[in-house]
Amino acid sequence: MKNTFRVVAALAAATLIVGVTTMPAATAAVKTKACLALDTGGVDDKSFNASSWAGAVKVKSSSISVEYLPAASSADFAGNIKKFVDNKCTIIIGVGFAISGAIITSAKANPGISYAVVDDGAYDCNADYSVCNPVANVKGLTFATQEAAFLAGYVAAGYSKTGIVATYGGAPYPTVTCFMSGYKQGVDYFNTVKKKSVKVLGWDGKNGEFIGDFGNTTKALATSKAFEQAGADVIMPVAGGLAAQTAQNSMTSKKSVTIWVDTDGYVSANQYKSVLLTSVMKGLGEAVGSVITDVSKGKFTNTSYVGTLANKGTKIATYHDLAKKVPSKIQNEVRAIAADIVSGKIKVKP
Amino acid sequence: MKLIAKKAILPLIAFGLALFVGGLVIGFTDSRVLSKIGSPISFLKIFASTVGNAYLALFQGAIYDPNLVEGHSFLTGFYPLSQTVVNAAPLMLCGLSVAIAFKAGLFNIGAQGQFIFGAIGASYVGFHYELPIFLHVVVAITAAIILSALWGGFVGLLKAKTGAHEVIVTIMLNYIAANFLLWILGTSTFLRPGRLDPLAPPVKDTARLPRLFGDNYSVNVGIFISIVVAFLFWLLLNRSTWGFKTRAVGANSSAARTAGISVQRITIGTMLIAGGLSGLAGAIHVLGFQYELTSDTAGSFGFDAITVALLGRGGPVGVVLASLLFAGLRVGGTTMQANVQVPVEIVLVIQALVVLFIAAPGLITRYIKIKNLESGQEMASKGWNG
């Protein structure tokens, strides 16, 4: 047995050494090396990490290579970005506003590399955030999701039989509250136009219902049930993966429908398709993809990208299976309102 | 020296085996390798090169990377080692925290929560007060130790007075600590001005642990503090009456009680120290590396520490080496993914395998005869009903 072990050990060691020395030649010259420094949650978070990475993979080509590094905690951000700098990435994309500070620090030290941050304007601010300036080589990718959420709010109000609709958020981050704010404004607009009084639970224009994090499934389920008991028959959860709890609850209780956010839930969470009224979509992947192609064409600028209804950076999904339950009048009005938001006739605040 | 070599042989073999099995996992999960499965020669070739390059990247990411030198001094290549050492320091202290509980027959699963309280204390003193350069660090660390020692000592008190099992209590207190952190980060005291997300203000420069080799290397005095603490750990346990009593309680608490040792006092004292050690780890992480308190500051230090203490077999030298190994694997894993696109999660597989081979020494000794192997009988912990 002892000899067998020695032989195996020697073989393994020899294999490794041979392996390293016969290292394959570097792959054909890649012009653009796009590197994504992800937020915590992993590449398969079914949320913004996953969408951003999918967007990058889509533009991968013979001249564009893409890679990512996951973060176990926020302490990893700076190290991951430095790794990308050492590995000579052409563009480094930080995913999530939490990584913004680390990206800006690295960008100022490496003016030759292009950077982008998903979900943050990526401004260089002083200690108390009273003065903020853009950085020459950093592009912020943000989304005016309130515009699409406004439409969703209008649809919800038009669909509701009880006259009560609801929303809740994962945590009170601006990237979450803008959904809730737009949703409420959409309902309010419906009330003004139709002289109705549909109520919104979970957001009063300033404060609202928050789970506290994006992982507490128990509280998400309890919140959804509480909304139903209060009479709400449309719920829009803005809490990443927790939306599944609300949709699942809608399926079992049959008392409400769910509005999905970030992606088209009909595609990304197809098992809930029977209760999905619509989805407020955020074009993370497209934004990431387009900034990478810009870099590869030498057209990178630090001008912030803002996804709007106008540039289709945010939109609502079709009603899919529930199309018959949304009055066609409402569907037409939503199209008209969308045009008004694009033209600036209707202004939606974040 | 011979004694250390004898003690080290089992962990070394376990590590070797873990790398071997990990290599198989890397090879057989790589699509580039699997695509060549039809032709044995090129399959073996690409298998070897994939695994070899993954481990080369792991080494480059953990110890020395010649690619970083390019036009700089050869010392620049040691940047990864600096990262490894920085990450090892808190892990070492948490590992000692778990190990000291082992010695008293206690299983401290609460290093994570104690770490959090240490981090909160250090962060608050670090950003809130204006103090002179040396004093600020001392006060911040003291605050961290006091807070976390109380948090840990509370467990000892419950165990001593009511018999509440420390495993259950520490696990539950971890949740309380994590949610307390989330809550406190949302209060106006801890919320960074201008921000809405859970992020405390950065600690002032005066409270930051001095770096050893300039700004480019994050390695700081934290590692010295940790090693000194490891030495004190040895001194306390092997050269003091209190340490003798602790070991006596750990070996057999009934016998210790009969011999006139107050088991209650030892239990409370041990948990106070265990808490303080994890809290010191939190302080060193916040004041020496992260410089700001976030909701995930503790990462997985407190849980990895259990593994580190097991791997280090509950002794100070073992814990020091095991924490360096684990930190190296973790830091190197990033490079492995960045350079050769082998997922960093493989590192967790290797870590788990190391523990598997250590925790079940029979797996190894059954197939490999090791001369004069110090038998794995010396139990690091007495487990559930100890």
Kindly report, residue by residue over B336-385, the tens digit of the pLDDT.
Answer: 999 888 999 999 999 999 888 887 777 777 776 665 555 444 444 554 44
> Looking at the domain assignment, is residue B237 inside a domain?
yes
Q: Could you read off the pLDDT of A306-342 as tens digits, one per residue?
A: 999 999 999 999 999 999 999 999 999 999 999 999 9
Instruction: Assess whether A185 and A334 both reside in one domain.
Output: yes
- What pLDDT is recorded for position B369? 67
Which segments of A119-216 does DSSP mark as H helices, in order?
145-159, 174-194
Instruction: Assess whether A182 and A260 both reside in one domain.
Output: yes
Instruction: Assess whether A111 and A186 both reside in one domain.
Output: no
Is residue A23 pLDDT above 70, yes or no? Answer: no
Q: How far apart are the first and last CA of chain A?
A: 70
Instruction: Assess whether A329 and A222 both reside in one domain.
Output: yes
Distance CA B373, CA B379 (A): 15
Confidence of residue B86 (pLDDT cuts 50, 70, 90): very high
Specify the number of domains making up chain A. Answer: 2
> Looking at the domain assignment, is residue A118 inside a domain?
yes
- What pLDDT is recorded for position B23? 93
> Looking at the domain assignment, is residue A165 inside a domain?
yes
Q: To the nearest whole angstrom, how far is the Cα of A82 from the nearest Cα of chain B?
A: 11
Q: Could you read off the pLDDT of B176-233 as tens digits, one per residue?
A: 999 899 889 989 999 888 777 788 999 999 999 999 998 889 999 999 999 999 999 9
- pLDDT top residue among A46 and B152: B152
- What pLDDT is recorded for position B1? 58
Is residue A138 pLDDT above 80, yes or no? Answer: yes
Interchain proximity B194–A130, CB inside 8 Å: yes
List the single residue in A2, A16, A213 with the smallest CB-CB distance to B369: A2
Is residue B97 pLDDT above 80, yes or no? Answer: yes
Is residue A24 pLDDT above 60, yes or no? Answer: no
Give the domain extent around A66.
32-143
> Looking at the domain assignment, is residue B124 inside a domain?
yes
Q: To the nearest whole angstrom, how far is the Cα of B378 from the nearest Cα of chain A?
A: 24
B331 CB neighbours in chain A (<8 A) are 79
Q: What is the rounded average pLDDT for all residues in chain A?
A: 90
CA angle centred on B83, ends B80 and B88, rounded to 5°: 125
Instruction: Assess whether A124 and A159 both reside in one domain.
Output: no
Instruction: Assess whether A211 and A338 both reside in one domain.
Output: yes
Distance CA A319, CA A260 (A): 11
> Looking at the domain assignment, is residue B160 inside a domain?
yes
> Looking at the domain assignment, is residue B242 inside a domain?
yes
Best of B195, B199, B340, B345 to disrupt the A interface by mutation (most A CBs within 10 Å)?
B195
> Looking at the domain assignment, is residue B296 inside a domain?
yes
Is residue B235 pLDDT above 90, yes or no? Answer: yes
Prediction ipTM score? 0.85
> Looking at the domain assignment, is residue A292 inside a domain?
no
Mean pLDDT, rounded, for B303-325: 92
Give the domain extent around B162.
82-327
- What pLDDT is recorded for position A22? 59
- pLDDT over 70, % of chain B: 94
Distance CA A113, CA A93 (A): 11
Best of A1, A8, A36, A76 to disrupt the B interface by mutation (most B CBs within 10 Å)?
A76
> Looking at the domain assignment, is residue B313 inside a domain?
yes
- pLDDT top residue among A105 and A6: A105
> Looking at the domain assignment, is residue A293 inside a domain?
no
> Looking at the domain assignment, is residue A11 inside a domain?
no
Is residue B316 pLDDT above 50, yes or no? Answer: yes
B196 CB neighbours in chain A (<8 A) are 172-174
Q: Could you read off the pLDDT of A229-260 as tens digits, one per residue?
A: 999 999 999 998 889 999 999 999 999 999 99
- What pLDDT is recorded for position A156? 96
Distance CA B62, CA A37 (A): 19
CATH number, domain containing residue B146: 1.10.3470
Instruction: Give the range with max mean pLDDT: A17-26, A137-146, B368-377.
Output: A137-146
CATH number, domain containing residue A231: 3.40.50.2300
> Looking at the domain assignment, is residue B225 inside a domain?
yes
**B111-128 and B133-162 helices cross at what angle (nearest 10)?**
150
- What pLDDT is recorded for position A7? 73
Instruction: Assess whether A235 and A181 both reside in one domain.
Output: yes
Instruction: Assess whether A339 and A214 both reside in one domain.
Output: yes
A60 CB neighbours in chain B (<8 A) are none
Instruction: Assess whether A200 and A61 both reside in one domain.
Output: no
Confidence of residue B68 (pLDDT cuts 50, 70, 90): confident
Taking one residue from A and the other from B, the number of pairs with CB-CB distance under 8 angstroms is 112
Q: Could you read off the pLDDT of A172-226 as tens digits, one per residue?
A: 888 899 999 999 999 999 999 999 999 999 999 888 999 887 778 899 999 999 9
- What pLDDT is recorded for position A206? 87
Residues 6+ apart with CB under 8 A from A34: A56, A59, A64, A65, A66, A67, A89, A90, A91, A93, A292, A295
> Alpha-carbon dihedral of residues A231, A237, A239, A242, nearest 10 degrees?
80
**What residues of chain A have any CB closer than 8 angstroms to a CB in chain B?**
1-2, 4-5, 8-9, 12, 15-20, 22-24, 35, 40, 67, 69-70, 72-76, 79-80, 83-84, 86-87, 97-98, 125, 127-130, 171-174, 212-213
Q: To the nearest whole angstrom, how far is the Cα of A3 from the nearest Cα of chain B?
A: 9
E-only strand ranges, chain A: 32-40, 64-71, 91-95, 114-118, 123-125, 132-134, 138-143, 164-169, 199-201, 234-238, 257-262, 276-282, 305-307, 314-316
Instruction: Assess whether A121 and A204 both reside in one domain.
Output: no
Specify the number of domains making up chain B. Answer: 1
A173 CB neighbours in chain B (<8 A) are 196-197
CA angle centred on A58, ends A96 and A311, rounded to 5°: 65
> Looking at the domain assignment, is residue A350 inside a domain?
no
Closest by Cα among A52, A170, A219, A48 to B198: A170
Single out the residue in A143, A173, A206 at which a domain terminates. Answer: A143
Instruction: Assess whether A174 and A270 both reside in one domain.
Output: yes
Single out the residue in A143, A163, A179 at which a domain terminates. Answer: A143
Widest distance between CA atoms in chain B: 72
Instruction: Assess whether A113 and A241 both reside in one domain.
Output: no
Confidence of residue A21 (pLDDT cuts 50, 70, 90): low
pTM given for the model: 0.86
Distance CA B380, CA B364 (A): 18
> Looking at the domain assignment, is residue A41 inside a domain?
yes
Single out the residue in A119, A143, A167 at which a domain terminates. Answer: A143
> Looking at the domain assignment, is residue A98 inside a domain?
yes
- What pLDDT is recorded for position A41? 80
